[in-house]
A and B are shown apart, each in its own frame.
Chain A
């Protein structure tokens, strides 16, 4: 394994996982005490954050349905986290049962959990790997089994890229994924931004910093997130607040206006 730099070396009991904290924010029970404690603190810093989490989850369902609608039948969900309500394969396979989904996460517990959940589903699998190893992911046995690189693929990087620091060159990494995907493929990104929420957000990210979680937030501006779509053509309505991306009802929008703008959402199509 090459991810030792992601894992704290000291023996430390209070190591929350952002994947499990996210599950807690959504109202799930797939989490431990440290995760819940961090979740409470973050929400104290940014009241309404639960709604932002809920809205992001709603975006996932929307974007998967959109891609299925566009003819996509295979998905690569990088940074899939703890399987929770309305996972990609559930949404996609409800629309078109032949849809195939490959999940990727680096957290061994999230991966173990996904495996347990996917037992018996031949059209979905999980790979434990780091986002920064595109070739390892794209070349894995599971990827070869599930993904046909001659057909459009829906690549999902939801609430994922802000965990990747600039020093890891996220743009370059995305380029390597893009090059492997055929024309007609889609990339969906949701990414936390400080453009609209400055102060509160700094407090919330401080909580994560203090929690010694291996995951640390890298906030990016609208222009910077736009840069991540290099080589893709953004579909309507472009890169917007998560709640503003083709909402269909109250499930897609948070009551607090700021929470709709906390996360940028966008979908690009590879020409």
Chain B
């Protein structure tokens, strides 16, 4: 066997690593399968198979299809060892999945991971196909044996009925003895069961009467060919008619029994219930249809399931399909390693299961960091927005993997209530398109393919649509919130807020921003807010020597707005406020996009302060803080709440990490002295929240602190 590795690098020879891996494979396999080889023979065999696999991984880039075929053949070779079955496949994938990635010849692992995965995929595919074939062949051979057993009993109508009984009753396969005129002479209980007749009822029937009309002619001809000696045996899938009118799908084997006088004779037909074979297959299929790492259904299974879900969907509520992609997953893998990445995938799978636990939903893992969820909607299914929010809320709770606290978010493409006659492929494509748009980040973390129409959605849309009018009528106003020093509570800044007074009730800042973001109104509303607050703060400076900074938070849409810099400059120019007095904040998540980064960089160059809002534990958050010209970060409110519940001591570490980048740490949602003290001790600087004073109109703002 030629040495497969021709790479010039001075890596250690691959043989040793391979040998160990092959032995491990062989060792674990031997405890899970039934094969006729001795331990040494199995060691050798697995060594050869592993060499083939490695060769394929090395070769794959050059001649992909050819090597996939050879790997599929390797899957067959594995099956041919004996009774290998699902345990054998599981062991194989477990051992090789880890082992190949660790082999010295496949370093750096990034370069080979994809090929290794696809090689193992081809191996599984070949294995499953061969395994299925093997089971079929075994089943067929049993049928043949049964037939032979009947023949060997030298069946003779008058003398040996008992012998027929012996063989036939112990069989779960149907057995019919049919005379040359196709009339049923004898039937066992099993065929009665399959067709819903008693054995007595069947006696006297013509076999051809029981066969589906479409195939009567063919079967009749084949039986004549048996008599003429032109054919030894008939074997074909058939449809038989049940007593209740249903069709039973069976496989039929017929052969001729010649009588003692060589003249008379009978047919023996063995009927195996086709559904049994299907059942056997399903267990094998389970292996092919699930992702090994997470145990979730894979894309193939999901697509099949989608097809049937579409068909049986509730005509009013329909189904929803979510296509999810973990944000910045590549960064997790690059910085923390692929293993951590894999564990993160498992974690995400678990959380998704938890979120969807109450729904009739299938969660699948697609390739890489993509997941999909299919929900069969019911009266109690939450709307799409809530579901996505719930998913991201769940994922934002940090998980500790190898001492790294990770919180992730997902971008989601959604197709809601696709017409039931859509092809599954179309639905999947639509979801993927929506996901791509969501990832482009123009309108938030998720994107609907099919515009929403349910109640809650409509209400929110109604509000959003009413917003421009409300603004026009002066119902929407600007409010101010004090930013207090954590040590001592002195006023060290003012945060700009929005407020919608709807008479009986009112909407706070975050609700206003979310609605305005939906429609795009935020761009003009935000510009107006900016001009208003800049003017106000300028006036406070003159009138009361108020010198503290003004914090204005932007939305995703605003952050990416190509006109942002112009809008900010105009607000400053028009009001005469010094650029250094203004700090503009962008949601940290939006800075994955170059438009936002450009905006932030230019603003910083103009002397405007910049901050990262909604700062969390996403692995890229810290990277952003150190790479961008940031003056401060606002810790995400959900983290502040966690700390208040005493659940997040590690946040102190976060603060010190941020401080190392030179940015101030600010905290939103401080309600008590204890909270303020905790954050102060963690070296955060200032904060907003009930503890420092309420959101107020300009006239009530305590500019003197």
Show the binding face of A for B, using Cβ within 8 Å: 1, 4, 7-8, 10-15, 17, 20, 26-36, 54, 57-58, 61, 65, 84-87, 90-91, 94, 107-113, 115-116, 214, 248-251, 253, 255
Contacts and interface: CB of A to CB of B under 8 A. Distances in A.
B162 A112 contact: no
A57 B135 CA distance: 19
Interface string B448-489: 000000000000000000000000000000000000000000
Decide if the interface of chain B is mainly helix, strand, loop or mixed: helix
Given A85-B35, A86-B35, A109-B146, A7 B166 contact: yes
Given A86-B82, A116-B148, A31 B163 contact: no
Nearest to A110: B145
Nearest to A16: B172
A11 B169 contact: yes
Contacts of A85: 34-36, 82-83
A7 B30 contact: no
B142 interface: yes
Contacts of B149: 108-109, 111-112
B145 A113 contact: yes
B36 A29 contact: no
B36 A86 contact: yes
Given A4-B162, A11-B188, A12-B189, A116 B145 contact: yes
B171 A84 contact: no
A196 B167 CA distance: 37
A47 to B, nearest CB: 14
Interface string B125-144: 00000000011111101101
A128 to B, nearest CB: 8
B31 A250 contact: yes
B134 A11 contact: no
Contacts of B153: 108
A84 B141 CA distance: 12
A234 B36 CA distance: 26
What band does the interface of chain B fall in when counting residues whose beta carbon is under 8 Å from A? 35 or more
A108 B167 contact: yes
Q: B135, B141, B162: which has the most chain A beta carbons within 10 Å?
A: B141
A108 B152 contact: yes
Interface string B383-419: 0000000000000000000000000000000000000
A32 B173 contact: yes
B37 to A, nearest CB: 8
A22 B41 CA distance: 25
Interface of B: 27-28, 30-31, 33-36, 38-39, 42, 82-85, 87, 134-139, 141-142, 144-146, 148-149, 152-153, 162-163, 165-167, 169-173, 188-190, 192-193, 199, 273, 276, 279-280
Nearest to B28: A250
B83 A28 contact: yes
A27 B87 contact: yes
Given A11-B169, A32-B171, A57-B34, A112 B141 contact: no
Contacts of B166: 1, 4, 7, 108
B190 A13 contact: yes
Contacts of A20: 142
Nearest to A58: B34
A48 B149 CA distance: 33
B34 A27 contact: yes
Contacts of A1: 163, 166
B280 A29 contact: yes
Contacts of B33: 27, 54
20 contacts: A1-B166, A8-B170, A27-B33, A29-B134, A29-B136, A29-B138, A32-B142, A33-B279, A36-B280, A54-B33, A58-B34, A86-B36, A86-B82, A108-B153, A108-B166, A109-B145, A112-B144, A112-B148, A251-B30, A251-B31
B148 A30 contact: no
A190 B188 CA distance: 35
Contact of A15 (B84, B169, B273): B169
A256 to B, nearest CB: 12
Contacts of B139: 29-30
A218 to B, nearest CB: 21
Contacts of B27: 249-250
A26 B171 CA distance: 20
Contacts of B134: 29
A54 B87 CA distance: 12
Contacts of B192: 13
Contacts of A113: 141-142, 145, 148
B87 A112 contact: no
Q: Which 5 residue pairs of A and B lie closest in terms of their CB atoms, listed nearest first?
A: A86-B36, A29-B138, A250-B31, A251-B30, A113-B145
Nearest to B136: A29
A54 B170 contact: no
A41 to B, nearest CB: 15
B170 A109 contact: yes
Nearest to B147: A112
Q: A27, A65, A86, A214: which has the most chain B beta carbons within 10 Å?
A: A27
A94 B28 CA distance: 24
Q: B28, B31, B136, B273: which has the most chain A beta carbons within 10 Å?
A: B31
A249 B29 CA distance: 11
Given A112-B148, A115-B148, A116-B148, A84 B276 contact: no
A174 to B, nearest CB: 27
Contacts of A27: 33-34, 83-85, 87
B83 A7 contact: no
Contacts of B189: 11-13
